[in-house]
Copies of this chain bind each other. A is one copy, B any other.
Amino acid sequence: MKPRITLKKIAREFGVSISTVSKALKDSHEISEETRGKIKAFADYYHYKPNNLALQLRNQKTSVIGVIVPEIVHHFFSTVINGIEKYATEKGYNVMVCLSNESYEKEVSNMSVLTNGSVDGLIVSIARETQQNQNFKHFEAIINDDFPLVLFDRINDDIECDKVIIDDIGGAFKATNHLIEIGSKRIALLTTQDFITVGSLRKKGYIKSLNKNKISVDESLIYKIDDNLDLYEQIKKVFAVKNPPDAILAVNEIYAAIALKIAKESGLKIPEDIAIIGFTSGLISEYTDPPLTCVEQHGFLMGKQVAELLINRIENTAPSEFQKVVISPNLKIRKSTLDN
């Protein structure tokens, strides 16, 4: 790479001081029209642009916000990032994305690197491994320094900072209510292992709805899927019982799509024989046959919200108490539950 043109070089060119050049380029009245003109022409010609690092160091401000997500090849997370980027750009910030890959160690190292002065604030969705360990010391460290931090979706209540979450309980509650309204009696739940927060919250919403509708909770209808095993085989078991369910609520899109596929292979009609709802994060639900009714998560809105909280925190326009914003998902009804 060619050496960049700097104030110093321009100054040397004209035999003036660096400050004269700096002021000239900023159209300062301190510098004569003549000097200003020739310096600006020269700078233009050589495409002078102030070095950002120097500016950031001097201003003690990077105008960059760091984002750490467990993965990026994931419709929900990329949608959130999109929202973050949108809002950040509007406010003059750039976005630096890092991936934890669900690994505790990578999360720690990413946080350590980013808080070294590279960014003005941090947005994090906690890695699965960290959630399992329940080890949040790396967060305490930056919170002690009052480093601006916002958690979203995968959060932990013990970490004192701003947070944005989806109302998972409410979403599952709505979905289950809908299934009951259309006449479902035996609603199976396809959820994750317990340590996945969203899975357990959605289970709560499911149970809350059953309770409200005076339906007893049948533990044999609750399936905890392990993402490391074969999904297809695990979900098959739902149908291989004497008294199979007449509805399924799946905590994500993939589980729902696979359940749909197996149901059809078993000769079941959807939604007549079995109704299916998933939590969606992508486009799959729209293109299955029939399309899947789903709980929509508003990732873009979430991203904007997260970015807004963070930037307010950075710019000290936020209230001193930490905020917890809850975003309500909505139920998108398609033909997997209502065919009309």
Question: Which residues of A pack against B, CB within 8 Å?
Answer: 1-2, 4, 47, 49-54, 56-57, 62, 64, 71-75, 78-79, 81-82, 85, 89, 94-99, 106, 112-118, 141, 144-148, 254, 257-258, 261, 264, 282-284, 287-289
Q: Which residue of B lies closest to A72 (CB)?
A: B78
Q: How many copies does the complex hold?
A: 2
Q: How far is the CA of A117 from the CA of B58 in the complex (A)?
A: 14
Q: How far is the CB of A187 from chain B (nearest CB, A)?
A: 22
Residue in B51, B82, B112, B288 whose beta carbon sits within 8 Å of that of A71 in the complex: B82
**A85 engages B98 (CB within 8 Å):** yes
Q: Which residues of B contact A56 (CB under 8 A)?
A: 53
Q: Which residues of B contact A98 (CB under 8 A)?
A: 85, 94-95
A118, A145, A148 interface centre (most CB from chain B within 10 Å)? A118
Q: Which residues of B contact A288 (CB under 8 A)?
A: 287-289
**A85 engages B99 (CB within 8 Å):** yes
Question: Per DSSP, are chain A's interface residues mostly helix, strand or loop, or mixed?
Answer: mixed
Given contacts A72-B78, A78-B78, A94-B98, contact A257 B287 (CB under 8 A): yes
Given contacts A73-B82, A96-B94, A97-B95, contact A148 B117 (CB under 8 A): no
Q: How far is the CA of A286 from the CA of B99 in the complex (A)?
A: 26
Q: Which residue of B lies closest to A283 (CB)?
A: B284
Q: How far is the CA of A263 from the CA of B74 in the complex (A)?
A: 29
Q: Which residues of B contact A47 (CB under 8 A)?
A: 141, 145
Pick the 10 closest A-B CB pairs, nearest first.
Answer: A52-B116, A257-B287, A51-B117, A289-B289, A97-B97, A52-B117, A53-B57, A96-B96, A2-B145, A78-B78
A53, A75, A115 interface centre (most CB from chain B within 10 Å)? A53
**A54 engages B117 (CB within 8 Å):** yes
Q: How far is the CB of A287 from chain B (nearest CB, A)?
A: 4
**A72 engages B94 (CB within 8 Å):** no
